[in-house]
Amino acid sequence: MTSAGRAQRRGPDPRAVRSSLIALVSTVVVFGGLAWIVVHAPGWPAVQASFFNREVFEESLPGLLDAFVVNIELFMTAEVLVLGFGLLLAIMRSLSGPVFLPIRVMSNAYTDIFRAIPGVLVIFVLGFGIPGLGLVDPRTDQRLFGILALTLVYSAYVSEVYRAGIESIHPSQEAAARSLGLSRLQSLRFVIVPQAVRRVIPPLLNDFIGLQKDTVLVSFIGVVEIFRYAQIESAATYNFTPYVAVALVFIVVTVPLIHLVDWLVARDRGGARPRAAATPSRLGAL
């Protein structure tokens, strides 16, 4: 009988069961203790009435979900623009040769500037500055300026993710492409960029989680999305429960994306190890 069969007959490992029980008990003790401290704090009744009012929560939640549709629209539109513009910036920064120096300088300056400026300032400047120039209709939907600002800010971050992916491709890939007669741009398009994009999907998803949350910043220029609606409800009810509802909505939407990123990272790591381990055996067989 194999060792695996003997282990199955003996049942679960007592040490593993003991470790699991200790972890469960310690978790219950820690979180139970924190809950007891909060509930028995002197100001808990007032906090409960101001932040965890059931009636206010039930009344405001449908309106908050309707307003969240605006956040989804902002996120989806900005995401598409960021993917394209960020990749363009990364390619511009990857161009070699003296003739492309102005392009590299402009893309480097853009990336440095928009990573240095807080996103809310960009939203303010574009949301109030562009209409102030008189170049557009003052009645233009402010959501357009919010999408533009989010695209400009997050393209700078995403371009760095793309650039890291491009630089992670071994130079032999480009050398092989160039030996086949492809130009630098053709090598990027057909050989390097497709491989780089596959490698940077997890960090890209991390950036888009941040983008999804930052859609609430457009409320500062008058867009009525979920956070702005929560402000209106809070002012009308003199209660902060709508803000807690907003937090719950983002938790429900964002946590699955976070675990998706973790799963993708774990899958990539798990897939890389068997391939690396299989190489020596194949070489030995040869």
> What residue ranges do the domains of the chain occupy?
3-39, 55-285
CA atoms of 265 and 203, how far apart (whole Å): 9
Q: Average pLDDT for consecutive 10-residue bins of the chain (286 residues)? A: 54 78 88 89 89 92 94 94 92 83 92 93 91 80 92 94 87 83 81 84 86 93 92 92 94 87 75 46 38
CA atoms of 101 and 109, how far apart (whole Å): 12
How confident is the model at residue 227, as a pLDDT?
94
**Dihedral (Cα; 39, 41, 43, 47), 10-degree rounding:** -30
Pick from 36, 220, 202: nearest CA to 125: 220
How confident is the model at residue 97, as a pLDDT?
78
How confident is the model at residue 9, as a pLDDT?
58
R_g of the chain computed on alpha carbons: 26
For the domain covering 55-285, report its CATH number: 1.10.3720.10
Q: Answer yes or no: are the C-beta atoms of 196 and 168 closer than 8 Å.
A: yes
Neighbours of 285 (CB within 10 A): 6
171: its two tokens = 């130079």
CA atoms of 263 and 110, how far apart (whole Å): 33
Q: Answer yes or no: are the C-beta atoms of 83 and 151 closer than 8 Å.
A: no
**DSSP assignment string, 125-160:** HHHHHHHHTTSS-TTS-HHHHHHHHHHHHHHHHHHH
